[in-house]
A and B are shown apart, each in its own frame.
Chain A
Amino acid sequence: MTLNTSRRGFLQGAAAAGAVLVVGLRTDGALAAGNASAQINPFVKVGADGRVIAIIKHFEKGQGPATGLSTLIAEEIGVGMDQIDYEFAPSNPELYANLAFGQFQGTGGSTAMANSFMQYRTAGAAARAMILDAAAQAQGVDASTLDIVDGMVTGAGQPAPLGDFVAAAAQLEAPTDPVLKTPDQWRLIGNPDVRRLDSKIKGDGTALYAMDVFLPNQMVAMLARPPQTGGLVASFDDSEAKTVKGFIRAATLPNNAAVAVYAENTWAAMQARDALSVEWDLSAAETRDSAQIKDEILAALDGEAEYNVLQNDPGPMDQAAQVVEQTFYFPLLAHAPMEPLNCTIQADEDGGVTLHDGAQFPTGPHMALAEIFELPMDKVRINTMLAGGSFGRRATPTADYQVEAALAFVITDRTRPVKLVWSREDDVRGGYYRPAFGHKVRVGLSADGEIVAWDHRIAGQSIMKGTAFESFSVHDGVDHSSVEGVADTPYTIPGFHVGLTDTKKATSTLWWRSVGHTHTAYAMEVMMDAAARAAGRDPVEFRLAHLGDGPDAARKAAVLRLAADKAAWGNAPSDRTQGIAVHKSFGSYVAEVVEISGDAESGVKIEKITCAVDCGLPVNPDVIKAQVEGGVGYGIGHAMRDEITLTGGVVDQANFPDYEPLRIRDIGAIETHIVPSTQAPTGIGEPGTPPSAPALANAISQSGRIVALLPMVNDGVRFV
């Protein structure tokens, strides 16, 4: 197989060549260390050759944890970024849990750095302390006189490479409470010149994704899935498929959800699947059109709210001098990560199975595969590979595509590995969409232009209800992910009422980069602008006037001021128009100013975007900037022109030509400013997305029209 890259070979070689110090956690959470035979799952390994390997418990979809967690380890030990490599951790929910998720290993909610920051620093500091103790003993000096700089132990004795002390260090007990470096000692954390560890392999084609797994004798499986959610296989005819060279066989999955077509290679699988004829049982299938779904959601906004989420100081709306009212609609959206979904399952010699996957939530497929194959957890292994994007799609409460692969594998004789491949059409039509939502907002203003009441109705399709994550997010019937960003806004809003109504799903739904904030930030921030305009006040000043003195509001106000200042708010060139939005999500605060030329009728051109972000202590400033740039593009691209629609329950879109991605000419320069901070690091993968589309809408609305029905091209906006 092609997994034996030079880097992997090197790592194995390093371990075999001599001693290794491993530092990690025991199941009781205590630090533990030892040599290569130690029965712990490590966070860091240090070889006798001086190379350090960070074991990354989060998957890498481009958001930067491979670099970020390696930075923490390198910093604490005292090596340069050119002296550290990374490996992805095996699946083990006890040892590699996401501390924000409980006993569950997974990446999401922009938590990778936030939950790992102390854990990885502590592991690195323990390794450093043990190496220094071993060096002190060898040199007959006090450990406190020694330091590790760029991999060299320096101080009282003769400078020596840290690898010289690895064997002795591996014999020592791990310290219970290692001393962490202080910010004045940091050389890597916060350093804007630290580069990504995965840049080179991704620029020269050597990076390996799950799609690049080619195991000896593997089959490629593609599935024929029902045209509508809820459909099942009735029967199939593969006589045409048999004429495709490389076709092996077709079989209905045990759950009747699809027909698997097995072939010798991907192209044969694609052609054989096209040649397959399937009769579907559509008796329980979804049959609605998206226009009907939209009507249901908009109607729910006018009825009694199913849940009164929040009601403070019952609003004196009837005493308001004027009321600004707006209804918003947000369509279904697909994630469409660049690497189509796929994974490979093989049988292991001991009766277990290995899943090769860009695994975002390893614990989910781990448990699902253990059940399907009737194996104990320790006989199911997951080889986490680089992921070609996700935006949430690779993490589903049902482990959907891994279960498909497992079902396709379990009905074979298991002598040949099975690689499940989705086409782009499978992906765009495959459900798990950002749910459709509607908002209806009424803002009451006093005669002097202050908010006196805010009635906010939300209706849409709950992401969490009915899933294994329900208890995580649903309380008293309210799915927090439906109202986050409204009900917990840092704005000071008197007379605030938030009501929620759940509507019936037409497809499976899923978190999509920034989850509920994808729509709540838009409704909040477009309304803040509409209210400011009605009050005759500047949008920045109006927002600041509704942010109090608490720490939460102060941080939000600070990014708002910074973005406005850096964008020269109010002083745009005469042919340009600016719009601003600010939003808190995943513990981080982001303000964005979008500057456009043209207008909705003649065509809008996005010239420039200025961002300010406070995500706590910035570990890798350049990665933070990249995530804001990408988050802005993801938010704006979809808001401009993308939606998933249904006709009779069947998805109308199929591939990029009708689910058009953001293109290079669509978006101008993005400038990102990071607020210096000593607060604990918070999220950055998602927070750049929420303010981007409302900032664009607010720029467009300067010429008088509120853009409220997304995508924007459906609401009278042209882009050039």
Chain B
Amino acid sequence: MSLVLKLNGVEHTVDAEPGTPLLWVIRDELKMTGTKFGCGVASCGACTVHVDGYPTRSCQTYIDDLEGAEITTIEAIGATKAGAAVQQAWAELDVVQCGYCQSGQVMSAVGLLTENPKPTVEEIHDYMDGNACRCATYQRIRAGIQRASEIMEG
């Protein structure tokens, strides 16, 4: 099927079978590689994008359901206030190790700070629970979110 996906503010006409996960359209069709494949069953969060502003696992989101939706990926999130703050904090604190999960971590962290600019540690844990990091960078992710919160306050 042919459909129009609005991604990072740009409309893309893509040709994909019904039931194709958004992840594979982003990666294999549009060749935007920042969004990662980690598990395929929405249990690691490496594929997190925003759909209408909400962090969403793109490996379990089907293109059939996305007509008219606004999709944002890691490639464009830095243009938002929270995205810029998170990316600045991530660099300041050297949060990353292998980095493969970090696009998803950043997308979830931006979702959290957009909803809740000053989250408690418990709120960070609740929100970020679905984003796995096999390098176990969790303590820096926690600190990075708190630092990004400060940056956003100005």
Q: Is the CB of A339 within 8 A of B98?
A: yes
Contact flag A205-B94 (CB < 8 Å), given A62-B135, A389-B135, A657-B41 = no
Contacts of A425 in B (CB 8 A): 40
Contact of A110 with B by CB under 8 A: no
Q: List 27 A–B pairs whose Cβ atoms lie within 8 Å, in order of A's numbering.
A: A62-B98, A62-B135, A63-B97, A196-B94, A196-B96, A202-B99, A203-B87, A204-B74, A205-B34, A205-B103, A206-B34, A211-B33, A220-B28, A266-B28, A338-B98, A339-B98, A388-B101, A389-B98, A389-B134, A424-B44, A633-B136, A656-B41, A656-B43, A661-B44, A664-B128, A665-B125, A665-B126
With beta carbons under 8 angstroms apart, the residue of A203, A340, A634 that contacts B102 is A203
Contact flag A211-B34 (CB < 8 Å), given A338-B46, A632-B136, A664-B138 = no
Contact flag A664-B31 (CB < 8 Å), given A198-B99, A338-B46 = no
The 7 A-B pairs with the shortest beta carbon distances in the complex, nearest first, are: A205-B34, A633-B136, A388-B100, A202-B99, A62-B97, A62-B98, A205-B74
Nearest B residue to A657, CB-CB: B43
Question: Whole-angstrom distance between the alpha carbons of A662 and B74 in the complex?
Answer: 24
A46 to chain B, nearest CB (A): 26
Q: Is the CB of B34 within 8 A of A266?
A: no
Contact of A289 with B by CB under 8 A: no
Q: Of A132-140, A440-448, A491-499, A622-630, which binds chain B?
A: A622-630
Q: Which of B53-81 contact A (CB under 8 A)?
A: 73-75, 78
With beta carbons under 8 angstroms apart, the residue of B38, B78, B136 that contacts A204 is B78
Contact of A503 with B by CB under 8 A: no
Q: Can you list, as one digit per residue, whether each of B78-117 has a CB less than 8 Å from chain A (1) or not (0)?
A: 1000000011001100111111111100100000000000
Q: Is the CB of B34 within 8 A of A626?
A: no
Contact of A667 with B by CB under 8 A: yes
Nearest B residue to A338, CB-CB: B100
Q: Which of A190-224 contact B (CB under 8 A)?
A: 195-196, 198-209, 211-212, 214, 220
Q: Is the CB of B73 within 8 A of A661?
A: no
Q: Is the CB of B34 within 8 A of A339?
A: no
Contact of B5 with A by CB under 8 A: no
Contact of B119 with A by CB under 8 A: no
Contact of A391 with B by CB under 8 A: yes
With beta carbons under 8 angstroms apart, the residue of B33, B35, B94, B126 that contacts A199 is B94
Q: Is the CB of A265 within 8 A of B106?
A: no
Contacts of A626 in B (CB 8 A): 94, 97, 137, 140
With beta carbons under 8 angstroms apart, the residue of B29, B35, B97, B124 that contacts A664 is B124
Q: Is the CB of B102 within 8 A of A208?
A: no
Task: Name the residue among B29, B46, B138 with the largest chain A CB count within 10 angstroms.
Answer: B138
Q: Can you list, as one digit per residue, whether each of A167-201 has a CB less than 8 Å from chain B (1) or not (0)?
A: 00000000000000000000000000001101111
Q: Can you list, as one digit per residue, whether each of A36-80 has a CB less than 8 Å from chain B (1) or not (0)?
A: 000000000000000000000000011110000000000000000
B3 to chain A, nearest CB (A): 15
Q: Is the CB of B17 within 8 A of A245?
A: yes
A313 to chain B, nearest CB (A): 42
B54 to chain A, nearest CB (A): 19
With beta carbons under 8 angstroms apart, the residue of A270, A338, A627 that contacts B134 is A338
Contacts of B125 in A (CB 8 A): 664-665
B residues whose Cβ falls under 8 Å from a Cβ of A: 17, 20-21, 24, 27-29, 31, 33-41, 43-44, 46, 73-75, 78, 86-87, 90-91, 94-103, 106, 124-126, 128-129, 131-142
Contact flag A630-B74 (CB < 8 Å), given A267-B20, A664-B124 = no
Contact flag A388-B35 (CB < 8 Å), given A265-B24, A265-B28, A338-B135 = no
Contact flag A630-B136 (CB < 8 Å), given A62-B97, A199-B91, A205-B103 = yes
Q: Is the CB of B135 within 8 A of A637?
A: no
With beta carbons under 8 angstroms apart, the residue of B27, B31, B33, B134 that contacts A336 is B134
Contact flag A338-B40 (CB < 8 Å), given A199-B96, A202-B99 = no
Question: Whole-angstrom distance between the alpha carbons of A339 and B27 in the complex?
Answer: 14
Q: Supply 14 further A-B pairs (C-beta < 8 A) apart from A203-B95, A205-B74, A208-B33.
A: A199-B90, A205-B33, A205-B73, A205-B106, A209-B100, A390-B98, A424-B38, A629-B137, A629-B139, A633-B136, A634-B136, A661-B132, A661-B133, A661-B134
Question: Whole-angstrom distance between the alpha carbons of A208 and B75 in the complex?
Answer: 13
* A: number of interface residues (CB 8 Å): 65
Task: Name the residue among A196, A245, A338, A662 with the largest chain B CB count within 10 angstroms.
Answer: A338
Q: Is the CB of B98 within 8 A of A388?
A: yes
Contact flag A656-B44 (CB < 8 Å), given A199-B96, A205-B103 = yes
Task: Name the residue among B17, B98, B137 with the largest chain A CB count within 10 angstroms.
Answer: B98
B43 to chain A, nearest CB (A): 4
Nearest B residue to A64, CB-CB: B97
B49 to chain A, nearest CB (A): 11
Q: Is the CB of B106 within 8 A of A203?
A: yes
B23 to chain A, nearest CB (A): 8
A595 to chain B, nearest CB (A): 14
Nearest A residue to B145, CB-CB: A664
Q: Is the CB of A2 within 8 A of B97?
A: no
Q: Is the CB of B135 within 8 A of A203?
A: no
Question: Whole-angstrom distance between the alpha carbons of A184 and B46 in the complex?
Answer: 44
Contact flag A212-B140 (CB < 8 Å), given A664-B125, A665-B125 = no
Question: Whole-angstrom distance between the alpha carbons of A667 and B135 in the complex?
Answer: 13
Question: Whole-angstrom distance between the alpha carbons of A635 and B49 in the complex?
Answer: 30
Q: Which of A626-678 contact B (CB under 8 A)?
A: 626-627, 629-630, 632-634, 637, 655-657, 661-667, 669-670
Contact of A230 with B by CB under 8 A: no
Contact of A423 with B by CB under 8 A: yes
Contact of A337 with B by CB under 8 A: yes
Q: Is the CB of A663 within 8 A of B132?
A: yes
Question: Whole-angstrom distance between the alpha carbons of A211 and B101 in the complex?
Answer: 13
With beta carbons under 8 angstroms apart, the residue of B94, B134, B141 that contacts A391 is B134
Nearest A residue to B132, CB-CB: A661
Q: Is the CB of B103 within 8 A of A630?
A: no
Question: Whole-angstrom distance between the alpha carbons of A203 and B141 in the complex?
Answer: 11
Contacts of A515 in B (CB 8 A): none
B82 to chain A, nearest CB (A): 13
Contacts of A634 in B (CB 8 A): 134-136
Task: Name the residue among A2, A425, A665 with the largest chain B CB count within 10 angstroms.
Answer: A665
